């Protein structure tokens, strides 16, 4: 495992998380103003571009590493996305949601470790 693959994994995570946030924002806007809105279309296309990047990076990583090795990082994305949704999208983050999210992540890590 070189520093280069760590960088790739980080970029993969970052593009994935940012894409999800853009999608959610676009759909929030679309339910208020509809799809004929420049902002909605911008957010949606930004999301699609980012998700496409993360898709190809994921493919490149899958060719290199076992799925079970990459899975814990995917588990990490649950924490990051929940946190970002609370911070950037101002979604309500309850204790219950936090504990549930941490348990899911711990479970994903255990599954991939074994």
Partner 1 sequence: MDGKAARERRESRETNEFNLLLFLSQLWSEIFRDVSVRAGLAYSLDMINNRPSGFANPWLQLGLNIICVVLYELLLKAGAKATANLSQPWSWTGITGLASPLIWLAIVVIILDLMIWLYVLKYIPLSIAFPLSRMVDVLVPISCWLILKEEISPLRWCGIALVIIGLAIVAKPAARLEERL
Cβ proximity to partner 1, 38 vs 90, nearer residue: 90
Q: Residues 37, 58, 69, 76: which binds partner 1 (CB under 8 A)?
A: 58
71, 65, 56, 105: CA torsion to nearest 10: 10
The SS3 of residue 90 is coil
- To partner 1, the closest distance from the beta carbon of 111 in angstroms equals 4
Residue linked to tokens 């946190």: 83
Taking residues 59 to 88 in sequence order and writing x for each that binds partner 1 by CB under 8 A, - otherwise, the string is xxxxxx--x---x--xx--x--xx--xx--
> What's 2-38 look like in SS3?
CHHHHHHHHHHHHHHHHHHHHHHHHHHHHHHHCCCCH
If phi > 0 it is left, if psi is from -120 to 50 it is alpha, else beta; for residue 93 that is beta
Q: Binding to partner 1 (CB under 8 A): which residues in 83-112?
A: 85-86, 89, 91-94, 96-97, 99-112
Q: What residue ranges bind partner 1 (CB under 8 A)?
A: 8, 20-21, 23-24, 26-28, 30-31, 44, 48, 51, 55-64, 67, 71, 74-75, 78, 81-82, 85-86, 89, 91-94, 96-97, 99-114
């Amino acid at each position: 495992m070189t520093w280069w693959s760590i960088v790739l994994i980080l970029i993969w995570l970052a593009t994935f998380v940012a894409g999800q946030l853009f999608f959610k924002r676009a759909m929030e806007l679309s339910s208020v103003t509809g799809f004929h809105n420049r902002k909605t279309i911008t957010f949606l296309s930004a999301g699609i571009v980012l998700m496409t990047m993360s898709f190809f990076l994921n493919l490149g990583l899958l060719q290199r590493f076992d799925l079970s090795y990459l899975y814990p990082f995917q588990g990490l994305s649950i924490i990051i996305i929940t946190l970002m949704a609370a911070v950037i999208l101002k979604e309500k983050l309850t204790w219950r949601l936090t504990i549930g999210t941490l348990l899911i992540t711990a479970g994903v890590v255990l599954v991939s470790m074994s």
